[in-house]
């Protein structure tokens, strides 16, 4: 208990669960670490899809980045409208729940849960890649380091992150500063020395093999750079007044920052003719940084800030997943444990499930970011699509002033997001997207089954408080293994609330001889309780007891409530437990699975 | 259940547990497979200890084998006297229990348990080595094959081996025939072609490095060939009348067979100048066989018979370990589960423990026989020593006719066995014998602790049947989470045996508001049962309940028996269990560890 308090802190009372209101300068870094950190792997994902088709093919990363930036601003404008429409936040699930049948909102929920899990896995492995780019001797440990990163963030979240506050703003600003420094250094070099000779010019003709298929695949990989842009709209209520205005402004800043940082790295990668390493080490961002900063402290600063912001992005998923799971659990579509808050008010169950799933992913994919990226984006853009179409429905229903342009904007967002879903599914199907195409429907089906179960339970539990209580007579069965203090305790308990004629002692003998002997001893004891003995050829107590109960139930019908009193040994020390037969445990299990039997456990505490 | 019956057979009734009486020709192979199968690795163990000191050093395997044969006959004669003295069998533990304080018999017991475990591991790996010598492509699978062998024998034993009968005699005779064929073929070749040129002659001077230390180490390794010679004396009652005479004769036959087979292989190994392979593959026996039989079917016959007899030796340990553990458990020095017979009358717990331990050993030692051998022998010869000194004590106390010569024979056996223990301990200490030197005392200490616990329990359980029953009033606490059918069931149960004023409903509210609401609903229900509400700032039900019970116990003292009624959800399908909070389970655990609280579980069976 003391260890627990030391590690996780003292319990918090429920009142402590108050949303803290954030100013913009603090909300921006905390809510956009996921989106901004994508800069660490966005450009690289595009290049990986092109690298097989020669140097000239890599030039196409520029137009592809441009399309992604267009998509980015469409999404930013669309999500500014989501903030308007849903000032209470809640994200895709809330929008879908409000505007659709449960099916659509559960699809959004499943997509988001999968997406959060992938965010953890992708960010942790990309963060480790930033470290190993600077320290290649750590490459053999990438799986261990990624898992360690996840566990660290999980641990912080189990403690409850509330206290961290401003500390969490630091890594994002640090990362922004570093990337901006990189861009300025690049710009300066061009001004001083002109375009580097390594830069890849626009090819005069399309290189062999670079089909539309290849370009679309590179585009869908690059869309991973846009994951996380929805975070601000989800958390609108966390902003200080005027909430909506502040959230919208912050979202715009995010858009501009992401645009500058992402397109800047894409341009720099092109200027230095950088090819992604087949092992993923060093990363493209690390190659750019070492081109510009050599081996100076500035290089290490870029790498460390990248790792930190990615760790913080992991943290975003660790607050998003449990919160969503808790809301959906309250709606009855997920196990209730997801909505129970622990001592520290953290949603422990969700944190544990998220850690476990993402660690399994990291291990299964050997901590390779580029192997995980194909699975990414689909879930994100599926939830974007559902949120945006939900908004379209909302505007068309409510018809506020200027609803036509609102419908157009969200409609455009929806069409573009849906295109990304389709392109990603088709292009990445064989590379792993098929798993997402299976997992999301399966999750939705499971959630419906869970809801069905909870509804069934509620129906079965409902009572009419006007109805009379239905009291039966009780018949108490006390299995007796011998004549000793434990058995006497059980008999005393039975006699305290019941007349002796409603109590039956039950003994199982292994041999006829033993049966006879026990009967004599019992009579000598003179308890006035009737003894029933059974002879068990197969040395089992459980089955004769069940047979005996069967006989009695057949005889007395359901006029009597049957109670079985089981003595339980409680040993003083834990290890002593293995010295006692676990018969009582097996009998308990068998009795509880039968109908209409009440079980009484009379503990006997051994003193040594 | 059907699967269980198919795999393990139908349950057997207790009467089926009758010792089968065996004629000599059947007892010999069944009881001596352990001893005879040592021929498969005995000579090899000696050679491994010498191989580092050049070809000439290997000649010393001959005089070492001779000393081991002398030791063999001393043991045979000594154990023939054990048969005389203990016609009821029982082995070292029985002899020690009869002649010593418990300490000595527990040391014998621990030594034997360790020895049985090693027998399984050594025999299984040596059996697999016989197979892989013939089929080297299986070498990468040695661990898997050894584990499979152990699991196979464990499975047969869980079914109960009784049915096997004569089938088990076959592998030993088959092995004896094969080894004799090998010896005859070797003799024939010498007669026809003379001494082979590869044979190692007696060196004119002791080779460099061959110290007494080296020779003693080779000797102690070779003593592994003598493990299992005690098996016949342990099982004397299994012989047909005249029991003692038959057992003694069979033991003599075993001695002669082992002498011929062991010294024969040692001589053949010397004649063909065979060096043990550093990987243990092919085995020395396989090398001899391929020298004499080439690649003919006779070679494969030797290898397969070796593997079979070693599997049977494993089986010997699988009957010895559980039986010994069961006897010691009945004496109270081991957990009682060891003496419980399963449906098929097999000692399942002992079989399971033995399988687990030996599989762990096989995995830890990578299925290398020569790595396991240093641990062997010590346990065996320690138990030999205790048995023989026990016999000496017995003869000196009883002083039967000719007791002086009896004392001399058993005394000689004891001295020689003890010498082997000391030599093995010293020579093999660093190679692993230190683990045995730790494990045996630890096991003995644990056994004493167990006995102490059982004695304490017995003392605490004892009652005087003349004493009056001590009946208290009961106070029933029913935790109520809401107003529903589950709660009504629990209240009905409470009301059936108790007046309403002895019942307290207990509710935990998370907010003050909820507390008020619930109180109103309760009053509307009008159950005549008093409601106590608690407000929990930390969202826990367990701790307020425990505090409440504390308060009550302080108020009423021990005049009242406190009963807590817990409703238990029994879901229709297993997977549904995770959809319900496990609160009841945690509450149950907390209540059972407190004194003087009786727990009533009222199951509520969900219909869907």
Can you tell me the mean pLDDT for A540-553? Answer: 87
What is the pLDDT of chain B when averaged over all its residues?
89
Label residue A2 by pLDDT band (50, 70, 90).
low
Least confident of A407-421, B149-163, B261-275: B149-163
CATH tag, A2-8+23-455: 1.20.1740.10
Q: Is there a contact between A497 and B485 if contact means CB atoms under 8 Å apart?
A: no
Label residue A569 by pLDDT band (50, 70, 90).
confident
- The rounded distance, in Å, linking the Cα atoms of A254 and A33 is 10
Can you tell me the mean pLDDT for A315-336? Answer: 89
Can you tell me the mean pLDDT for B165-183? Answer: 88
Taking contacts as CB-CB distances below 8 angstroms, the residues of chain B near A471 are 492, 495-496
Which DSSP state fits B18? -
Least confident of A270-284, A530-544, B306-320, B409-423: A530-544
Q: Closest Cα of chain B to A600: distance in Å?
A: 4
- Work out how many CB contacts closer than 8 A connect A with B: 166
Q: Which of A191, A563, A318, A141 is nearest to B493 (CA)?
A: A563
Cα B343-B33-B78 angle, rounded to 5 deg: 110
Looking at domain A473-605, its CATH superfamily turns out to be HUPs (3.40.50.620)
Q: Are strands B473-479 and B560-570 parallel, antiparallel or unpaired?
A: parallel
Q: Is there a contact between A485 and B600 if contact means CB atoms under 8 Å apart?
A: no
Matching residue, tokens 């064929």: B181
**Cross-chain CB nearest to A592 (options B496, B592, B601):** B601
| pLDDT tens-digit series, residues A467-497 | 888 888 889 999 998 888 889 989 999 998 8
Q: Closest Cα of chain B to A351: distance in Å?
A: 17
Strand partners, B532: B506
- At residue B165, does pLDDT exceed 60? no
Matching residue, tokens 């004669």: B77
Contact A354, A318 (CB under 8 A): yes
Label residue B320 by pLDDT band (50, 70, 90).
confident
Residues in chain A: 608
- The rounded distance, in Å, linking the Cα atoms of B149 and B183 is 28
Can you tell me the mean pLDDT for A287-297? Answer: 92
| pLDDT tens-digit series, residues B86-117 | 888 878 888 898 888 899 999 999 999 999 99
Q: Is there a contact between B13 and A486 if contact means CB atoms under 8 Å apart?
A: no
Q: Closest Cα of chain A to B162: distance in Å?
A: 17
- Residue B104 confidence (pLDDT): 92
Which DSSP state fits B49? H
- Choosing among B5, B539, B570, B596, which should be mutated to test the A contact, i.e. which has the most A CBs within 10 A? B539
Can you tell me the mean pLDDT for A327-345? Answer: 86
- Residue B163 confidence (pLDDT): 47
Q: Where are the alpha helices (DSSP H) in B399-500?
A: 403-428, 434-461, 485-497
- Residue A332 confidence (pLDDT): 93
3-state secondary structure string across B214-231 = HHHHHHHHHHHHHCCCCH
- Residue B399 confidence (pLDDT): 92
Q: Closest Cα of chain A to B594: distance in Å?
A: 9
Can you tell me the mean pLDDT for A541-552? Answer: 88
Can you tell me the mean pLDDT for B157-183? Answer: 81
- Choosing among B575, B598, B605, B607, which should be mutated to test the A contact, i.e. which has the most A CBs within 10 A? B598
Query: Cα separations (Å) of B507 from A395, B516, B540, B599?
Result: 46, 11, 11, 17
Q: Which of B421, B466, B359, B560 is nearest to B111 (CA)?
A: B421
Query: Cα separations (Å) of A303 from A204, A419, A463, B584?
Result: 36, 34, 63, 50
Q: Is there a contact between A593 and B607 if contact means CB atoms under 8 Å apart?
A: no
Q: Is there a contact between B580 and A484 if contact means CB atoms under 8 Å apart?
A: no
- In a 13 Å sphere around the CA of A594, the CA atoms on its Cβ side amount to 21
- Domain locations along chain A: 2-8+23-455, 473-605
Taking contacts as CB-CB distances below 8 angstroms, the residues of chain B near A491 are 469
- At residue A586, does pLDDT exceed 90? no
Q: Is there a contact between A14 and B511 if contact means CB atoms under 8 Å apart?
A: yes
- Residue B166 confidence (pLDDT): 66
- At residue B81, does pLDDT exceed 70? yes
- Residue A163 confidence (pLDDT): 47
Residue B607: closest C-alpha in chain A:
A460
- Residue B553 confidence (pLDDT): 87
Q: What percent of chain B has pLDDT over 70?
A: 95
Least confident of A88-102, A269-283, B116-130, B131-145: A88-102
Residue A502: closest C-alpha in chain B:
B497
Phi-psi sector, B598: left (phi>0), alpha (psi -120 to 50), beta: beta
Q: Is there a contact between B485 and A13 if contact means CB atoms under 8 Å apart?
A: no
| pLDDT tens-digit series, residues B536-573 | 776 778 888 988 998 888 888 778 889 999 988 888 88
- At residue B47, does pLDDT exceed 90? yes
Taking contacts as CB-CB distances below 8 angstroms, the residues of chain B near A453 are 576, 579, 608
CATH tag, B20-455: 1.20.1740.10
- The rounded distance, in Å, linking the Cα atoms of A471 and A34 is 61
Can you tell me the mean pLDDT for A186-209? Answer: 90
**Cross-chain CB nearest to B485 (options A337, A463, A484):** A463
- Residue A9 confidence (pLDDT): 67
- At residue A174, does pLDDT exceed 90? yes
Taking contacts as CB-CB distances below 8 angstroms, the residues of chain A near B484 are 461-463
| pLDDT tens-digit series, residues B375-392 | 888 888 999 999 999 999
Q: Which of B606, B504, B594 is nearest to B543 (CA)?
A: B594
- The rounded distance, in Å, linking the Cα atoms of A72 and A331 is 32
Residue A607 backbone dihedrals phi, psi, to 5 degrees = -90, -15
- The rounded distance, in Å, linking the Cα atoms of A320 and A34 is 11
B9 compared with A516, residue with greater pLDDT:
A516
Can you tell me the mean pLDDT for B178-197? Answer: 93
- The rounded distance, in Å, linking the Cα atoms of B57 and B206 is 8
Label residue A179 by pLDDT band (50, 70, 90).
very high
Taking contacts as CB-CB distances below 8 angstroms, the residues of chain B near A492 are 469-472
- At residue A13, does pLDDT exceed 70? no
- At residue B318, does pLDDT exceed 60? yes
Taking contacts as CB-CB distances below 8 angstroms, the residues of chain A near B462 are 484-485
Label residue A20 by pLDDT band (50, 70, 90).
low
Q: Which residues, at least 6 apart from A548, have a Cβ–Cβ distance to it below 8 Å?
A: A477, A506, A532, A534
Q: Closest Cα of chain B to A592: distance in Å?
A: 6
- Residue A1 confidence (pLDDT): 64
| pLDDT tens-digit series, residues A51-69 | 999 899 999 999 999 999 9
What is the pLDDT of chain A when averaged over all its residues?
89
- The rounded distance, in Å, linking the Cα atoms of A358 and A350 is 12
How many other CB atoms sit within 10 Å of the CB of residue A127?
27
Prediction pTM value: 0.73
- Residue B83 confidence (pLDDT): 92
Q: Is there a contact between B600 and A597 if contact means CB atoms under 8 Å apart?
A: no
Taking contacts as CB-CB distances below 8 angstroms, the residues of chain B near A526 are 465
Q: What is the DSSP string of B286-345?
A: HHHHHHHHTTSHHHHHHHHHHHHHHHHHHHHHHHHHHHHHHHHHHTTSS-GGGG---TTS
- Residue B48 confidence (pLDDT): 93
Q: Is there a contact between A471 and B11 if contact means CB atoms under 8 Å apart?
A: no
Q: Are strands A597-605 and B597-605 parallel, antiparallel or unpaired?
A: antiparallel
- Residue B482 confidence (pLDDT): 86
Q: Is there a contact between B14 and A471 if contact means CB atoms under 8 Å apart?
A: no
């Amino acid at each position: 208990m003391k260890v627990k308090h030391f590690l996780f802190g003292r319990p918090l009372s429920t009142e402590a669960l108050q949303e803290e209101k954030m100013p913009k300068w603090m909300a921006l870094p905390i809510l956009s670490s996921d989106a901004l950190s994508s800069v660490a792997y966005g450009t690289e994902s595009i290049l990986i899809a092109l690298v097989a088709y020669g140097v000239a093919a890599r030039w196409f990363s520029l137009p592809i980045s441009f399309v992604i930036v267009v998509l980015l601003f469409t999404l930013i404008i669309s999500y500014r409208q989501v903030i308007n429409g849903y000032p209470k936040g809640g994200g895709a699930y809330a929008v879908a729940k409000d505007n659709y049948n449960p099916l659509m909102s559960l699809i959004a929920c499943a997509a988001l849960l999968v997406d959060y899990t992938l965010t953890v896995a992708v960010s942790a492995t990309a963060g480790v890649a930033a470290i190993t780019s600077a320290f290649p001797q750590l490459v053999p440990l990438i799986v261990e380091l990624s898992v360690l990163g996840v566990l660290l963030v999980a641990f912080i979240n189990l403690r409850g992150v509330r206290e961290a506050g401003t500390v969490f703003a630091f890594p994002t600003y640090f990362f922004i500063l570093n990337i901006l420094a990189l861009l300025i250094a690049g710009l300066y070099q061009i001004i001083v020395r002109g375009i580097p000779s390594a830069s890849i010019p626009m090819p005069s003709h399309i290189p062999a093999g670079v089909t539309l298929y290849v370009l679309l695949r590179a585009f869908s990989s690059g869309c991973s750079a846009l994951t996380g842009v929805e975070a601000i709209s989800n958390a609108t209520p966390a902003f200080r007044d005027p909430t909506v205005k502040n959230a919208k402004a912050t979202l715009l800043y995010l858009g501009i920052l992401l645009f500058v940082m992402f397109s800047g790295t894409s341009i720099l990668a092109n200027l230095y003719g950088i090819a992604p390493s087949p092992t993923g080490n060093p990363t493209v961002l690390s190659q750019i940084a070492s081109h510009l900063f050599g081996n100076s402290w500035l290089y290490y600063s870029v790498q460390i800030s990248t790792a930190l912001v990615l760790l913080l992005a992991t943290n975003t998923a660790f607050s998003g997943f449990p919160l969503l799971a808790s809301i959906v659990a309250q709606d009855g579509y997920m196990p209730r444990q997801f909505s129970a808050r622990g001592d520290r008010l953290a949603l422990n169950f969700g944190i544990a499930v998220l850690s476990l799933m993402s660690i399994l992913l990291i291990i299964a994919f050997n901590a390779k970011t580029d192997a995980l990226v194909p699975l990414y984006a689909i879930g994100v853009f599926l939830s974007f699509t559902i949120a945006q179409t939900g908004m379209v429905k909302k505007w068309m229903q409510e018809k506020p002033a200027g609803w036509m342009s609102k419908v157009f904007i969200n409609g455009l967002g929806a069409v573009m997001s849906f295109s990304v879903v389709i392109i990603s599914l088709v292009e990445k199907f064989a590379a792993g997207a098929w798993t997402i195409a299976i997992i999301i429907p399966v999750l939705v089906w499971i959630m419906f089954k869970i809801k069905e179960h909870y509804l069934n339970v509620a129906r079965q539990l409902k009572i009419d408080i006007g109805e009379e209580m239905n009291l039966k007579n009780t018949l108490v069965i006390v299995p007796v293994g011998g004549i000793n203090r434990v058995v006497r305790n059980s008999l005393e308990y039975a006699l305290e609330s019941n007349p002796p004629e409603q109590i039956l002692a039950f003994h199982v003998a292994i041999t006829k001889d033993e049966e006879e002997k026990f009967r004599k001893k019992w009579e000598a004891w003179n308890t006035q309780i009737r003894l029933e003995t059974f002879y068990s050829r197969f040395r089992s107590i459980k089955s004769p007891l069940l047979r005996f109960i069967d006989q009695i139930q057949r005889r007395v019908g359901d006029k009597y409530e049957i109670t079985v009193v089981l003595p339980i040994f409680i040993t003083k020390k834990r290890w002593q437990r293995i010295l006692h037969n676990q018969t009582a445990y097996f009998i308990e299990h068998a009795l509880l699975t039968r109908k209409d039997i009440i079980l009484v456990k009379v503990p006997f505490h051994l003193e040594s």
